[in-house]
Chain A
Amino acid sequence: GNSVTQMEGPVTLSEEAFLTINCTYTATGYPSLFWYVQYPGEGLQLLLKATKADDKGSNKGFEATYRKETTSFHLEKGSVQVSDSAVYFCALSTLSNNAGNMLTFGGGTRLMVKP
């Protein structure tokens, strides 16, 4: 079956530090990969995506590259801000017969950025 493993948190960083959150996956077929972000008190929002090998997704200074050879999709940001404090979820999608894309999520990683 499909599964997503991401590093456990919380990850605590100082403002302007470099961020890496690791994500690896197991999937049948050729999934698309995503990072979702959940800010305090809110639902999940799509942060970035990649649909094929070597694709790089990017948004708001965050980047992740689809690495098929290592089945990984690590999230990076060069300089984090306090406003980046949130829970980050790595996810993959596969197709169902009826509903199109079905998402499988990792456990989530809480990021706390201190001023």
Chain B
Amino acid sequence: DVKVTQSSRYLVKRTGEKVFLECVQDMDHENMFWYRQDPGLGLRLIYFSYDVKMKEKGDIPEGYSVSREKKERFSLILESASTNQTSMYLCASSTPGTGFHEQYFGPGTRLTVT
């Protein structure tokens, strides 16, 4: 069964802290994605990675960085958390290619920055 797991379901951090969100997939997918989900705005892409150590910025990369040292793991890093980064963060993975390839999503991490 396809599985994308995220390290925490709920996280509370203080302003200025460095925050790590971890995502692991067991499907041997090349592509991995980080989105944030906010009411009325849907999902917005922060970063994606199409191979180990390869990454590209999405639509809203400011204030975030990512790390992909192993194929199955993709980390989102908030270098200095701010209150406007309070959100739901969703990780996804897929295989590449020009045909249709479904993105599989993890359950999300709800981050609150106080």
Chain A residues in the interface with B (C-beta under 8 A): 4, 8, 32, 41-46, 49, 51, 89, 93, 95-96, 98-103, 105-108
Contact = CB atoms under 8 A, between A and B. Distances in A.
Nearest to B95: A100
B105 A99 contact: no
A46 B56 CA distance: 24
B70 interface: no
Interface of B: 4, 31, 33, 37, 39-45, 48, 50, 54, 56, 90, 92, 94-98, 100-103, 105-108
B43 A89 contact: yes
A72 B108 CA distance: 29
Contact of B100 (A8, A51, A105): A51
Contact of A107 (B4, B40, B90, B103): B40
Given A43-B108, A98-B56, A102-B45, 11 more contacts: A43-B107, A44-B43, A44-B90, A98-B54, A99-B31, A99-B50, A100-B97, A101-B103, A106-B42, A107-B41, A108-B39
A49 B99 CA distance: 13
Contacts of A51: 100
Contacts of A89: 42-43
B54 to A, nearest CB: 7
Nearest to A51: B100
Contacts of A102: 45, 48
Q: Name, among B39, B41, B42, B107, the residue most crowded by chain A CB atoms within 10 Å (CB to CB).
A: B42
A108 B36 CA distance: 13
Contact of B105 (A32, A44, A96, A98): A44
A105 B38 CA distance: 12
Nearest to B54: A98
